[in-house]
Structures are given as structure tokens and as C-alpha cells.
Amino acid sequence: MHAYIGLLVAPFMLVAALSGIAYALTPALEAWLYHDALSGVQSGTPQPLAQQVEAAQHGLGEAILPAAVRPAPRPGATTRVMFAAPGLGPSKHRALFIDPVTLAIKGDMTVYGTSGVLPLRTTIDLFHRQLLMGDIGRLYSELAASWLWVAALGGLALWLQRRRGLRTQNGPRAMRRRHATLGVIAALGLLFFAVTGLTWSKWAGGNIAELRHAWGWGTPNVSTLLPEAASDQPHDHDEHGEHGHARAPDAALNPVDFERALKAARTAGIDAGLVQIEPPRGAGKAWRVAEIDRSWPTQVDQVALHPRSMAVIDRTDFTTFPLAAKLTRWGIDLHMGSLFGLPNQLALAAIAGCLVVLVCWGYTMWWRRERAIQRSGRETLSETFVALSWSARLGVLAVAVALGLALPVLGASLALFVAVDLLRWWPSRRQASTQASSR
């Protein structure tokens, strides 16, 4: 099975690893590439946030309200004013970067996701997750993540079984020893990649989300439904959906309300430098002001504010999150390289680099082994399975079915592995039976 994973799934793992390295090392490149958009004047008194929003509206040429605003987190940085645009698709906004002091427009580009990544990183991110092919492309990354943990655990099992013999392997077989040693060193990181990667996947990720919800492990999120509107919309809990798809804010609002919302949130204890202000998404909805600092220590508190009084009607504090929700938050941020900054990014690149080397060594060993097998006869998974006891066969089948239901892409690809193996095994079995009967 370890060989089949390496032979048939490793190319997808290789693409994920290489694109992951590019993604992990991109923040420093983006800081240089988009320096003009991200930087304003270092000194001077910042203008009110309302005037910064108006400057963005003037640059846009329309008096529409932003879908979200991210005030400058520090002196010398720019304010990001983000507008919804129907042609951009889910989780994308057109962002104008405003110098808080001079009100000059320093940049105009599309940003993506809650983390607000810029165009270069967005392209690498989408390639890493779905090869720029949309939902169908997500099959590739889910396939890689579904089998990566199996390959890592299988490699550990093989190492434990053969570690004494590996120590004495030299010459052409030394590569097997190096492959095993590097796999053991990188195993924990590879398991982390697999688990966190599956949480983002389309099919397995949906099953994981249902499991978390059933066990009460979901991430708390503020409700923006106003108390007076609750009786009319008792089942409106689609808060995450509002982030995923751009929706127009209430037209009755004006830029001054962004200033009011920020002041009210600061008074309520939203004290992170990185915050995002979102206006109500229609009648009966509240403002949302959220901390978006995913570094350490994590600051992701949120408040919902009444649009007239700016009183807090709901809030979530990271310190009160269930442990599972905290681990999910930290796992995602660690996978993205944002939790510990540059050291985090370098560690991710190193683990992904180990996976690249493991795949290359694995193919080299397979090629050498294939040439040896041609001289000595083929070994198949089916032959090994048939040699098991009935109880062991039932156990293997039970585990395979359970994993296939929990991880559908793994289940479908496992069926393909078995079909390929049967095509390799059946002719040799018939030949052996024919030879035995002729005797």
C-alpha cells in the first residue's frame, strides 16, 4: 500500500508541496512587491476614518459604502477600504489603499479571503488548493491530504519493522535508509499537513465540520441579527455565509458610521491593531467589528453593534473558546504560516521540502525495485490480502469501508488501487493455477 500511494498519489503530493513552499515564502516578497500600496507617510496626524472612506469612494467614482474597512494598524501603514463587486466571486473584494494622513490612494487591487491576501499570494493559494480549476481542482489537494497521513503512518510502521536492517544498508540500498530516516524526522509535520489540509477540503472537510458541530467543537461567531428582528428570523445563523459572498451594505448608512463603530468597538475591548469593520448587511442586521490578528498571541475577538446606538448586542472572546475551537484556529494559522511569522514560514517550507525529497527518492527506489521484480516475479496487494486469516481480512475491510465513508476521495482512490492491483494479480494467479493443474 505504501508503494501504491507513492506511485499513484505522490505526484499530487509533490505539486502540493512545491506550491506550499511558494505560498509559505511569499509574505516577504509581497511586502516588497506591494510596498507602495501598503505604506503611507511615517509622520503626521491621521485624518478621521470617515474621511478616509470618502477618499476611497471618490477614487472609486461611486458613493457606495464599503463592504469592509481595515484601518491602518500602525503609523506608516495604509487603510484598506474594500468594496463588493459582483464579478469578483466569493471571498474577493476590490480594495483601495488609503494613506491615512494625506488621503492619497496608494493602491487599487483585488484582495482575497478573511486574511486579505494580495494578488500574488492569492494566485499561489488558489493553485495550491485547486490548481486554478475551481471546485473540480480541489480533488487534487484532497487526494494528496487524504493519503498523506496514511503514507506517513505506513512509513513509520515500515521503519519500526525494518530499522535494524536499515542501519546496515550501504551502497545502492543506502537511499532506502536515508528515505526512512528523513520520513521519520518529517512524519509529525506531514501528519499536521494532512489533518489541517483535510479541514479545508470539499468532501472530507464537510464531514469534519459536521462532526465538530455534533460534538460542540464549532468556532463561536457573533450573531449580527438585531434583537428586534430575531422574532421574524429565528433561524438566521448563516454568519459565515456573509463573509464568503459579498453582499451590499445598508444604503442608509454613511462613512461617519465607520468611525462610530470603531470607537464603540475600542470601548468594548477590541484592542488589536488589525481589525475589520463590516457594516450591516441589510435591514435587521448589526455592525460587526472583528480582530484579525492571527499571529501570536492570537487576537480574534468580535463584537456586534446596534446600528443606531452602537451598543454591543453580542460578542465572542477567544479566551472563552472551547479548546477544540482554539486548536482549530491555531492549526489553520500554523498551516498558513501566520501564527509565528517568519520562523513558522521557514518551518513549513522545510517540512514541505522534506516531502519533495521523499517523493523523489521514493520514485528512484521504485524504479530500482521494479527492475528487480521483473527478474524475480511481481508482488501484489491482493496476494498479501488473500494470505491473511479471515478475521484479519474482515478487519481490513471494515477499516477500509469506514475510512472510505469518512474520506470519500480516499475511498474512491482506494477502489482504483484495488482494481489496478487485481488486474496485476489475476493473470499471475491463473498462470499459477494452470501450472499446478498441469502437474
Query: pLDDT of 202-253, one tens digit each?
Result: 899 989 888 888 887 788 999 999 987 765 554 433 333 334 444 556 557 8
pLDDT classification of 168: cutoffs 50, 70, 90 = confident
pLDDT of residue 20: 96
244 domain residue, yes or no: yes
Q: Mean per-residue pLDDT for 422-435?
A: 72
Report yes or no: 358 and 190 within 8 Å, Cβ to Cβ: no
Residue 318 sits in the same domain as residue 226: yes
- The model's pTM is 0.87
Q: Mean per-residue pLDDT for 290-316?
A: 96
Residue 134 sits in the same domain as residue 24: yes
Residue 188 sits in the same domain as residue 128: yes
Q: Write the pLDDT tens digit of every residue in 129-150.
A: 999 998 899 999 999 999 999 9
Q: With H, G, I as helix, E, B as strand and everything else as coil, classify residue 339.
A: coil
Does 377 have pLDDT greater than 60? no
Which has the minimum average pLDDT: 249-253, 257-261, 426-430? 249-253
Q: How far apart are CA 10 and CA 7, in angstroms?
A: 6
Residue 11 sits in the same domain as residue 138: yes
Among residues 282, 315, 336, the one where a domain terminates is 336
- The residue assigned the cell 451594505 is 249
Strand (E) or helix (H) holding 159: helix 138-167
Q: Mean per-residue pLDDT for 336-360?
A: 96
Q: Any residues with CB less than 8 A from the CB of 350 and at least 6 apart, and which?
A: none
Share of the chain above pLDDT 90, in %: 68
- The residue assigned the cell 482506494 is 414
Q: How far apart are CA 225 and CA 218, in angstroms?
A: 19
Number of folded domains in the chain?
Answer: 3
pLDDT of residue 373: 59
pLDDT of residue 115: 83
Residue 325 sits in the same domain as residue 182: no
pLDDT of residue 121: 94
Q: How far apart are CA 72 and CA 155, in angstroms?
A: 48
Q: Write the pLDDT tens digit of every residue in 275-285.
A: 999 999 888 99
154 domain residue, yes or no: yes
3-state SS string for 381-428? HHHHHHCCCHHHHHHHHHHHHHHHHHCHHHHHHHHHHHHHHHHHHHHH
Q: Mean per-residue pLDDT for 190-201?
A: 94
pLDDT classification of 12: cutoffs 50, 70, 90 = very high
- The residue assigned the cell 474512491 is 412
Helices (H), 268-407: 323-336, 342-376, 381-386, 390-406
Does 372 have pLDDT greater than 80? no
Mean pLDDT of the chain, nearest integer? 89
Residue 286 sits in the same domain as residue 348: no
89 domain residue, yes or no: no
Report yes or no: 244 and 91 within 8 Å, Cβ to Cβ: yes
Residue 371 sits in the same domain as residue 388: no
Q: How far apart are CA 366 and CA 108, in angstroms?
A: 50
Which three three-digit cell numbers place residue 326?
482554539
Residue 15 sits in the same domain as residue 140: yes
Among residues 336, 367, 402, the one where a domain terminates is 336
Does 7 have pLDDT greater than 80? yes
Does 432 have pLDDT greater than 70? no
pLDDT of residue 219: 86
46 domain residue, yes or no: no
73 domain residue, yes or no: no
Q: With H, G, I as helix, E, B as strand and everything else as coil, classify residue 57.
A: helix
Residue 233 sits in the same domain as residue 292: yes
Distances (CA, A) of 427 to 18, 383, 433: 39, 12, 10
263 domain residue, yes or no: yes
256 domain residue, yes or no: yes
pLDDT of residue 435: 59
Angle between helices 174-200 and 342-376 (to 10 degrees): 120
Q: Any residues with CB less than 8 A from the CB of 402 and at least 6 apart, and which?
A: none
Classify burial at 158, counting beta carbons within 10 Å of its beta carbon; exposed 0-12, middle 13-18, buried 19 or more: middle
Q: Which domain holds residue 320?
A: 219-336
Which three three-digit cell numbers place residue 438?
498441469
Does 398 have pLDDT greater than 60? yes
Residue 24 sits in the same domain as residue 133: yes
Residue 391 sits in the same domain as residue 438: yes
pLDDT of residue 424: 82
pLDDT of residue 263: 97
Among residues 314, 336, 358, the one where a domain terminates is 336
Q: Any residues with CB less than 8 A from the CB of 96 and at least 6 apart, and which?
A: 56, 59, 60, 80, 81, 83, 105, 107, 108
pLDDT of residue 55: 97
pLDDT of residue 260: 96
Q: Mean per-residue pLDDT for 382-388?
A: 88
Share of the chain above pLDDT 70, in %: 90
Q: With H, G, I as helix, E, B as strand and everything else as coil, classify residue 349.
A: helix
Residue 407 sits in the same domain as residue 421: yes
pLDDT classification of 320: cutoffs 50, 70, 90 = very high
84 domain residue, yes or no: no
pLDDT of residue 110: 95
Partner residues linked to 95 by β-bridges: 82, 109
